[in-house]
Amino acid sequence: MIVLTWVVRDIKSGFPLANEHLGLGYIASVLRKTGFEVAIVPVELPSMQPDIVHQDRISGEERSLLDEGAYTILDFRPKIVGISVPFQEDALAGFELATAIKKAEPSTIVVVGGHFVAFNAAQVLKDFPSVDAVIVGEGELTMLDLTECLVQTGKLEPVKGAALRDHEFSSRPLISRLDTLPFPARDVLQYLMKDRGSEVREAHVSGSRGCYGGCTFCSVRSFYALSPGPKWRGRTPDSIVTEIKAIGEQYGIRTFCFVDDQFIGPGSRGVSRVQRIVWMLKRLGDVKFSLSCRAGDVEESLFSDLKAAGLESVFLGLEAGVDSSLSRLGKGLTVEHNTRAIDILRRLGIRVSPGFISITPWLTLEELQGNLRFLLEVNLPGAISLLMRRLRVYSGTVIERHLLADRKLRGDYKWYDYDVPDPRVTEVLRALELYSSSLLPRWTNREETASPLYRSALTIRLQMFRERIINSILSAKTLDDCMALCDAVRTEVEGCHGSVQAS
């Protein structure tokens, strides 16, 4: 028996477990096809607060829940437990789960995989004795080889794509033809359907892997570069639409989210492939879907066809509203590209979900103001919230290397942090954080704030103040201007709280 797991924590959803994990679904499907018994068992933790972007410690409650999760996993009596640790945000929880499993059953083999651990395999094996192997690259065939090796020899032996202690590592080539993989196991979707029924309206589909962009902040391209092979691979349209049809027939789901890092493939061949997908989806009929892409890929004729095939929403990697930041982020695009893409999608009636990175280690007040002007000009909802989005420094990225070389990072590989050097920006961000936090549910913790009337009055008052904040940010030039803004926000929030309470 093999158990595949990951720590589930979703700050945006009312439910901790909101979506499938297709990576583990693919591994499970490959193992089952070979005859192995596999269970997918997510371990759920309480949601983090929206202002917490990572875990640098495990609370007592979380440790208790991870211990319970470990015993739930061990109830299956697995020989191997595979834990997905994709990014730094919850890496410590994943390692704590591995420790709990080993403590309860030392003979269990613990294998971890994901972007984060792949870039730090040697350090993870050194720092966390509970981890027996780290998968570097795609997991399906490496996990299969590790499992077959364990069954045949009773112990782990070196295989391509797996980092082991005291063994030389050998990389595994990327899977050249994704169509050779069986469709991913849908255990979690079945669980969600059973648990929530009609509330589950969407399934995830992976139509491609990799990205041909050169973004300095993103680990996707670097991750696939760890293994020999092309930087972007796409499934055939026939395979994708066959899977969508099967999900619709089995689960009654007609809405899909393509989880591809870059849905539109490179060059004219990529466009031709998408056009084939469009044609097949139109024939299938009654399908709605969303996708992710770069602003430079948005062309009116192509996206008009996608709209006709059922496209409703696009996660658009804008990242910034000033060319200097776009250049540092390695986008290879300009603000003009971003504006044009938004205009096209809006004309077509396609919802835009923006990817935006405003706060960076090089941010100046002038760049922050440029980002704000852009957000206002293109009229994206939640401009202040988008203005506060912070660059996360992920392992394996170009930005990580540069910032480490320049000694601008605090912490270690498990989680980095940094300061913004412009003190004017620091004061503006302090003002925005104060403004935003006053609207969060924590204000209702006091008995007098629990009244809906109070809450409504407070929100209206603060929203009216929003325009004053925006104008103050755009007109600020000196540190004194920014400090005055912070003081004004603090005074207004406190006065708003008192005046509404009195009313």
Q: Can you give the CATH number for the domain in which 338 is found? A: 3.80.30.20
- Domain end point (choices 420, 445, 468): 420
Q: What's the CA gap between 478 and 468, in Å, rounded?
A: 17
Helix (H, G, I), strand (E, B) or coil at 111: strand
**pLDDT surpasses 90 at 136:** yes
pTM of the model: 0.90
Q: Give percent helix, percent strand, percent coil of the chain, each to the nearest 5.
A: 50, 15, 35
Q: What's the CA gap between 47 and 91, in Å, rounded?
A: 15
- Residue 427 located in a structural domain: no
- Residue 173 located in a structural domain: no
**pLDDT surpasses 70 at 441:** no
Please tell me whether residues 471 and 326 are part of one structural domain: no
Domain that holds residue 451: 434-502
- Domain end point (choices 164, 197, 213): 164
pLDDT in tens, 7-46: 987 544 443 445 789 999 999 999 999 999 999 999 888 7
Compute the CA torsion angle 283, 285, 289, 294 (nearest 10 deg): 30
Among left, alpha and beta (phi > 0; psi -120 to 50; other), residue 96 is alpha
Please tell me whether residues 415 and 438 are part of one structural domain: no
**What is the residue whose two structure tokens read 């990389």?**
171
Please tell me whether residues 248 and 144 are part of one structural domain: no
- Domain end point (choices 420, 452, 472): 420
**pLDDT surpasses 50 at 116:** yes
pLDDT in tens, 245-297: 999 999 899 999 999 999 998 989 999 999 999 999 999 988 999 999 999 99
Please tell me whether residues 247 and 150 are part of one structural domain: no
Count of domains observed in the chain: 3
CB 476 within 8 A of CB 424: yes
Q: Which pLDDT belongs to residue 48?
A: 55
**pLDDT surpasses 60 at 499:** no
Retrieve residue 497's tokens.
């709280």
Please tell me whether residues 485 and 339 are part of one structural domain: no
Retrieve residue 462's tokens.
């603060």
Q: Which residues contact 441 (CB under 8 A, 6 or more apart)?
A: none
Q: Which pLDDT belongs to residue 52?
A: 44
**pLDDT surpasses 50 at 445:** no
